[in-house]
Amino acid sequence: MNFSLSTDGSPVYTLAYKGKEIIKPSKLGLELFPEGVQRTFDDFSAEGQTSDNADMKTNLYSGFQIMNTQTATFDETWRPVWGETNAIRNHYNELAITLNQPATERQIRIRFRLFDDGLGFRYEFPLQANLIYFALKEERSQFAMTGDHTAIWIPGDYDTQEYDYTTSRLSEIRGLMAEAITPNSSQTPFSSTGVQTALILKTSDGFYINLHEAALIDYACMHLNLDDKNFVFESHLTPDANGTKGHLQTPCISPWRTIIASDDARDMLASRITLNLNEPCKIEDTSWIKPVKYIGVWWEMITGKSSWAYSDLPSVQLGITDFTKVTPNGRHAANTAHVKEYIDFAALHGFDAVLVEGWNIGWEDWFGNSKDYVFDFLTPYPDFDLKEIHRYAASKGVKMMMHHETSSSVRNYERHIDRAYQFMKDNGYDAVKSGYVGDMIPRGEYHYSQWMNNHYLYAIQKAADYKIMVNAHEATRPTGICRTYPNLIGNESARGTEYQAFGGNNPNHTTILPFTRLIGGPMDFTPGIFEMDISKLNPGNNSHVNSTLANQLALYVTMYSPLQMAADLPTNYNRFPDAFQFIKDVAIDWDDSKYLEAEPGEYLTIARKAKGNDNWFVGNVCGEKGFTSTVSFDFLDPGKTYTATIYADGKDAHYKTNPQSYTIRTMEVTSKTRLTQQSAPGGGYAIRIVPK
């Protein structure tokens, strides 16, 4: 990495990997809003006080001189509460450059951390007389590409990441954008060349580049806007309701901007830059934070087989509508008898918890009405006996998982959050799945603004006070904050399995997510669907799950998360008990991970060692073309013999025409074994390996 100032005093950096330039000279800086009228609390004059050089003060991107530079080297190994490995090395060289802007007598510092596999940089704003309170108009961090690279991208959007990925040259993004923007419950695209991070790119000479951010705290989410004539990405922050990109007070810092680079796609998966750029864990006692394998009353609502709502009333008002006197619709899934069936299934098969959605009043008119007081997070429907469910689950050794859909009425959620969390603890709930579906209240706010990012963190911090784990859906995509707050055990923040019931995902979708969305942290992807024809659950829904059954098994290995759901209905698992055995057996916390084969959008194969024992699990997924996987088992201990149970696609398997064709076989393996295994289009395989 090289840093310099241009002739006009603009900060400029470049980055090379193995002697090859991957980031051309790129400018850094920020643009501020002009200072408004300043006044003391007792100044009622019409004019107030204005600065003589207000326009000049909008510029924090040029006119700088270098005041001083500091260098350092850091090397430590830390242990995550949960993770893909039991230890993570954090090793970097650091360069901190303090810049002075003589015209305004203001200083900023740009801190670079150079790792073996990439670079992180951030802006730091020391406390100073001429820069205390300021508002961001835009951050102007550039990432200048060296050519018309291939990118795997989703549209830039202030409200959703739930898009299928498009693979194209950078020069083609503009022409493909309209087609890439598909309908969503809340969406605000901002540019015909705007894309989201984490963004994966591949150069024509085989180098991989990932652009993202780390430690997104008290700041707006960063997107990338492409100058498609010069192939230069520039940061584009999510605004608030007034169009401001952030309100800051010195001393303060920005999130880290990250660049991961390699000539081997497997290194992208192995990189821990995002986690390493976050602060160490701030929760002193983490003994209550535990990985969770769960089932839930969810998929039957997603597919339309059942409903979240108790009745078909067009309008309800909490505290006024008497639900004991309304006519039930007969489709409400979160009823006591039905939930007990799920609890029985969980207890029989060794699952930790049962999620129940639709248990609480308010679902009749929850979406699309900009309704403030939409849920109270406390009151169950008449057919859901919460106390009896608590007693029954406890008697079976099963935990219940809470659901807090907010309908994006964030003000309402914050009003209730203490009572809601205390209610959870009083009734035996240790984890909550939160949701932010729909447009925001306060109206005009976006899902990824500074204000909303502060809310998401507030909910996580408040949950930690109650020793509650959080799985946040529709929130900002993660940026490694789970290192600091490991009670954030899951996020959605991408197009998940639910879209398989909304028309389907691209068959290569899960070969992309580990290179993009999962760079920032684990995803509650909700795998494990065994019945791909959704019309068999709901005749009115003709969606198809674009995956083979073996692919669904492999996702428990390839889509890392300490929170893993077996998402299908128990009746479908009972149809395939031999395949279901893998979901029961697979670990969800790991001592080690090996990335065996990888090409974004095409295939990946990962081996993971279960935490605390010598069992290994291998997963392979592939896209539309299918894939012949060839892997060595040299990750196993030399001199030991293991039994491998291989769950693979059948010879005639295909994600569309024959997704339930699979085979199961066992074989002895050692560290010298090599396996060649064919995966069908949209397919894959999963392996459980145990010592003999």
Q: Would you name the residues annotated as active-site residues?
A: 498
Beta-strand ranges (E) seen in 254-324 are 256-262, 292-297
Helix (H), strand (E) at residue 454: helix 450-465
Q: Which of 442, 495, 637, 544 is nearest to 166 (CA)?
A: 495
Residue 381 is classified by DSSP as: P
Looking up tokens 């652009």 gives 211
Report the distance separating Cα 162 and Cα 655, nearest Å: 22
Measure Cα distances from 546 to 191, 403, 435, 497, 580 in Å. 30, 27, 25, 10, 19
Task: Dig out the tokens for 12 from the structure.
Answer: 């400029």
Residue type, 29: G
Cis ω for the linkage preceding 431 (within 30 of 0):
no
Under 8 Å between Cβ of 326 and 311: yes
CB atoms within 10 A of CB 660: 16
What SS3 class is residue 623? coil
Angle between helices 336-349 and 386-395 in degrees, nearest 10: 20
Backbone angles phi, psi at 387, to 5 degrees: -65, -40
First to last CA, the chain: 49
Q: Which of 537, 596, 605, 547 is nearest to 572 (CA)?
A: 537
Q: C-alpha 81: how far from its chain's center?
A: 18
What SS3 class is residue 449? coil
Looking up tokens 């202030």 gives 158
Report the distance separating Cα 501 and Cα 555, nearest Å: 18
Report the distance separating Cα 210 and Cα 224, nearest Å: 12
Report the distance separating Cα 609 and Cα 391, nearest Å: 36
Pairing of strands 399-405, 353-356: parallel
Under 8 Å between Cβ of 31 and 140: yes
Task: Dig out the tokens for 155 from the structure.
Answer: 């549209």
Cis ω for the linkage preceding 527 (within 30 of 0):
no
Bridge partners for 112 per DSSP: 95, 121
Residue 456 is classified by DSSP as: H
Residue type, 393: A
Under 8 Å between Cβ of 136 and 244: yes
Q: Which of 16, 550, 501 is nearest to 263 (CA)?
A: 16
